[in-house]
Structure 1
Amino acid sequence: MLTIEDCIALSGLNEAEIEAISEHEHIPEIVAVEYGNYLMHSPDGVPMLKRIILDDIAAAEQRNDLKHALHLRLVLRHFIRTHRDLHKVAN
């Protein structure tokens, strides 16, 4: 049986990126894992994931949750660095 950690590892994303998807889409973490996996393997997925994280940052800033906004900026930074090759192709 696969654990949630196994599923996250198979998605090509990390837990923080999955949490950002879950937050943005208002879906359970396991559903966010599958959605993230789908996006990582779709042609427009990387820019969509970047947009999701940017939207989460904006929402956190709007509600004045600056600590969470900073955390999400670090998530975005890691996402771009980790998926640099895919990011260049997608943009």
Structure 2
Amino acid sequence: MISLIDAIGLSDLTEEEIAALAEHEHVPEMVAATLGAYLLHEAHGPERIRDMILDDVRAAVRRRDVGHARQLMGALRHFLAEHPEAALRPHDGA
């Protein structure tokens, strides 16, 4: 049986990025790790991951959960550093 640590390692995402996807999609982290790995290899998938994390940041700001918003922004910064193809472009509108 594959463990969550194994799934995260295979996903090319960090634990924080996986947690953000799990939060956004309301699924367990194991499912989020699988989804993230899948999206990274799909056309426009990295942009979808970026948008999910941004949605989580916006929700945390609306709740005035500054600590969580900062944590999510750290995950977003790391994600964009590792996956520059997901960077916002003027036509993205996000």
Fold similarity call, TM over 0.5: yes
CA distance in 1, matches of 2:53, 2:33: 15
User: How many residue pairs end up in the alignment?
Assistant: 89
Corresponding position: 1:63 with 2:63: yes
CA distance in 1, matches of 2:50, 2:7: 20
Match of 1:16 in 2: 16
Amino acid at match of 2:43: P
Match of 2:38 in 1: 38
- Unmatched tracts of structure 2, length 5 or more: none
CA distance in 1, matches of 2:25, 2:35: 10
- Quote how far apart the aligned CAs of 1:3 are: 1.6
Query: Is contact 2:50–2:86 with CA below 8 Å preserved after alignment?
Result: no
Identity across aligned pairs (percent)? 44
Match of 1:29 in 2: 29
Match of 2:86 in 1: 87
Corresponding position: 1:51 with 2:51: yes
Match of 1:74 in 2: 74
CA deviation vs aligned residue, 1:27-49 (integer Å, no higher than 9, x gap): 01111111111101101111000
CA distance in 2, matches of 1:83, 1:51: 13
* Bigger share in helix: 1
CA deviation vs aligned residue, 1:34-82 (integer Å, no higher than 9, x gap): 1111101101111000000000000000000001001111110000001
What is the RMSD of the two structures over their aligned residues, measured on CA atoms?
A: 1.6
Amino acid at match of 2:53: I
CA distance in 2, matches of 1:5, 1:78: 19
